[in-house]
Amino acid sequence: MVTGDGPHGGGPHIDVETVSFSYPEHPVLREVSIAIGRGDFLGIVGPNGSGKSTLLRVIDGLLRPESGRVLLDRRPVLEHSRRELAQAVALVPQHFSLDFDFTVQEVVEMGHYCRQEGDARACATAAMETLGIGALAERLFPHLSGGEKQMVILAQALAQQPDVLLLDEPVSALDVAHQLEFFDCLQRLNADGMTIACVLHDLNLALHYCRTLLMLSDGRVAAYGPVAEVLVPDTIDAVYGVHAHVHHHAGRSFLTFSPRLRAERRERVHLVCGGGTGAALMRDLYQLGFAVSAGAVNALDSDEITGRDLGMPMAVEAPFTVLSEEVHRENLELIDRAHVVILTDVPIGTGNLRNLDAVRHALKRGAAVWVVADLPSRDFTGGRADLDLPGARQFDSVADMVAELRERAASGRPSGLS
Amino acid sequence: MRRPEGKGRGVVILLALAFLLLSFFLCVALGATSISFSEVLQYLGSGSASDDPSGTIFWQIRLPRVLLAFIVGACLSVAGCVLQGMLLNPLTDPYVTGVSSGAALGAAIGIVTHIAIVPWLPILALIGGMLTLLVVYSFSRRHGQVNIFVLLLAGVTISQLLSAVIAVLMLKAGRDVHQLLYWLLGSFSGRSWTEVQIALASIPFLVVPFFFAKELNIMLQGEQRALELGVDVERVKKVLLVVAAVLTAIAVSVSGIIGFIGLVMPHLARLVIGPDHRKVLALSMVFGAAIMALSDLAARTIIAPSELPVGVVTTFFGAPLFVYLLRSKRGPRW
């Protein structure tokens, strides 16, 4: 549970209290409650149609919730006049068009409208300086690039001199460099005390820049809390229906995603692989709809990483360790459930010698066994290995195996593997 | 086209005022009886009617007619400018609200019932226009908000309906049909100081939009964005709709339905000075006044001693100009 207190102290700045909102016969928000602390950097994520933009518009008093209410500094937003609200809260919209030849300076000055006093020109200039776009001042707005326009709209919002910035997918039309530049600006503003609530799609941007994260799913709060606690694979899987993988690299975390693939065919293929010889095959088989397992492999081997990403059952040994009896047994259990066992062109050394025993076990059980030909050339055991695999079908390469499997999958033959 | 900035902007406004002054002198001087430049200055200097015949023509015919054309041109241009900006629609003219048809019906009733004596005709027209505004406006209000699309549709629909009624009146009008036709096409023929006095009622309504220029600028980003930036959009819409409708009703009541001025002048002004309403309103007002007076000059001299309806002249020159603007690369940005 997140308390409303931000790092800058004080009570909650914006209270969203059990807000529900519907368009006619179409509920969009269902009893959403959050408390945004002063100085927070909140990200709002969720699949398309989950109610993110609607929530922003309810917070900004542009939509009247069906039930519940939004408080800004303990006073309902709907009791503020538009002008008062614009002085406290600025919204950066998702869509913005202005096809008239106003200069950037004039466009930014429009943000100052809600302030009845003060020098609009100076205020606009200051806003542009903050964002480093002072050089654009005399350019005509319609002639700007998408990235420049987005910065100008942000400047227009800053010219309102608000305490809170609400942003609705501000960077979804920008290239990666402009995205980072834009968010770096937001981060600086936040460091200077601006409260920020930003709808965004890119979970990696959320992970890097946001402090708190709200994940909406079908109008409900699916998760709400510190960003690292919300962006965990289980939550992402439940809300988006994709596999998420958290990686840590050079002191930063980032996420990658893969589609949640379901084995549509009953045939199970077991790969005896390692050293990256199975990774491509794993993905190909998944895409063809086979259930895939693998073993035995060492942890952090690239085949093991790919298999883990795909969420497949594997027999895994510790890194750089000879396969133990225990892992070997796990591997045999997986093989017992497989219809076909593939031995890739993985080199055989003393460490994974047991994998040949596993393949022979499969042959004994009568499973189909496919082997990449010329096994002796991959034997690095100095003659200790028993390379005799009677009854195994020889293929020239892994690619040939895939070709045959693809053909069989396409022809829809129910169990054409043996 | 580069927008005039700083000094350039001042020059544009000076040029526009010079144009207005020039059109004034041309319009009072030229006609069936020519009045020389020095006579014009002399009449203006003496400040009162004189006995000599060209003095009477100047004071009783030319001057009120030119002033009326100035005011009507200004009213239609400002109304068009306000509506185009507010509705974000380049094809909007002051007549979309249906007010003009209401005014026309009022006038048509006045003409066929022969109570068409000054000042009853303009007053009937004004009443017709305001009643139409009331109907269209109440149609488009829902939950305290004015729905612009409903307003436009209601305006166009009522306009068509009233035109049908006018058509029936025309069939029954007999020998009044000529007068009715001139009225429907717009004319300043035979207008006197009485109409000028009625038209002067528009002056406060001509001023109001300037106080909303900032709001109009912001609303060019769309109503939604204007709300986000703190504009009380509903209030602005209500005030400006009523102002534009009143300006239209006043213009139509004294001159009939004169086309194209309200549509084209705001575009011309925007083209010359950029989109900022603080300047566009001023410039389209000046353009509208000057070009209306010049159009009237053409209307009464081209086929002299007969007169063309001025609406025919404005349309004749306005339509090609508008097509040119639309096709021109420097044309209106929408």
Structural domains of chain B in order of their starting residue, each with its CATH number: 7-327 (1.10.3470.10)
Spatial separation of the C-alpha atoms in residues A346 and A332, rounded to whole Å:
18
Asked if B255 and B74 count as a contact pair (C-beta separation under 8 A), the reply is no
| Domain end position, chosen among A257, A279, A305 | A257
Q: Which helix (H) or strand (E) holds A326?
A: helix A325-336
Based on the fold, state whether residues A154 and A283 are members of the same structural domain.
no
What token pair was written down for B3? 């927008």
Q: Which helix (H) or strand (E) holds B288?
A: helix B277-301
Spatial separation of the C-alpha atoms in residues A347 and A378, rounded to whole Å:
5
Query: Is B228–A97 a contact, with Cβ atoms under 8 angstroms apart?
Result: no
- Asked whether residue A313 is assigned to any structural domain, the reply reads yes
Closest chain B CA to residue A165: B228
- Asked whether residue A171 is assigned to any structural domain, the reply reads yes
Spatial separation of the C-alpha atoms in residues B295 and B316, rounded to whole Å:
10
Based on the fold, state whether residues A280 and A138 are members of the same structural domain.
no
Spatial separation of the C-alpha atoms in residues B206 and B199, rounded to whole Å:
11
Interface check for A118 against chain B (CB to CB < 8 A): the answer is no
Interface check for A85 against chain B (CB to CB < 8 A): the answer is yes
Query: Tell me, what CATH number does A69's domain have?
Result: 3.40.50.300
Based on the fold, state whether residues A45 and A169 are members of the same structural domain.
yes
Based on the fold, state whether residues A369 and A392 are members of the same structural domain.
yes
Give me the half-sphere count of Cα atoms (radius 13 Å) on the Cβ side of residue A84: 10
- Asked whether residue A198 is assigned to any structural domain, the reply reads yes
Residues within 8 A of B (CB atoms), A 137-166 only: 140, 142, 156, 160
Spatial separation of the C-alpha atoms in residues A295 and A269, rounded to whole Å:
11
Query: Is A98–B221 a contact, with Cβ atoms under 8 angstroms apart?
Result: yes
B93 CA: distance to closest CA in chain A (Å) = 19
Q: Kind of pairing, strands A89-92 and A195-199?
A: unpaired
* Cβ count within 10 A of residue A238: 13
- Asked whether residue A334 is assigned to any structural domain, the reply reads yes
Based on the fold, state whether residues A169 and A282 are members of the same structural domain.
no
Residues of B with Cβ-Cβ distance to A82 under 8 angstroms: 227, 230-233
Based on the fold, state whether residues A195 and A253 are members of the same structural domain.
yes
- Asked whether residue A3 is assigned to any structural domain, the reply reads no
Based on the fold, state whether residues A182 and A124 are members of the same structural domain.
yes
Residues within 8 A of A (CB atoms), B 270-309 only: 270, 274-276
Interface check for B218 against chain A (CB to CB < 8 A): the answer is yes
Spatial separation of the C-alpha atoms in residues A29 and B17, rounded to whole Å:
57
- Domain count along chain A: 2
Based on the fold, state whether residues A208 and A303 are members of the same structural domain.
no
* Domain span including residue A328: 268-410
B175 CA: distance to closest CA in chain A (Å) = 50
Q: Kind of pairing, strands A89-92 and A164-168?
A: parallel
Based on the fold, state whether residues A83 and A158 are members of the same structural domain.
yes
| Domain end position, chosen among A257, A289, A315 | A257
Considering only the beta carbons, identify the residue of B3, B215, B229 that sits closest to A101.
B3
Residues within 8 A of B (CB atoms), A 5-64 only: 60, 62
Asked if A255 and A231 count as a contact pair (C-beta separation under 8 A), the reply is yes
- Asked whether residue A4 is assigned to any structural domain, the reply reads no
- Give, for all 418 residues of chain A, the pLDDT tens digit: 444 444 444 556 899 999 999 988 788 999 999 999 999 999 999 999 899 999 999 999 999 999 999 999 989 999 999 999 999 999 999 878 888 889 999 999 999 999 988 899 999 999 999 888 999 999 999 999 988 999 999 999 999 999 999 999 998 888 888 899 999 999 999 999 999 999 999 999 999 999 999 999 999 999 999 999 999 888 998 898 887 878 776 677 888 887 665 555 567 899 999 988 998 888 888 878 788 899 899 988 889 888 887 778 899 998 888 899 999 999 999 999 898 999 999 999 988 889 999 999 999 988 899 999 888 888 888 888 888 888 899 999 888 888 888 887 777 655 444 4
- Asked whether residue A385 is assigned to any structural domain, the reply reads yes
What token pair was written down for B286? 């000046």
State residue A191's pLDDT score: 95
- Asked whether residue A417 is assigned to any structural domain, the reply reads no
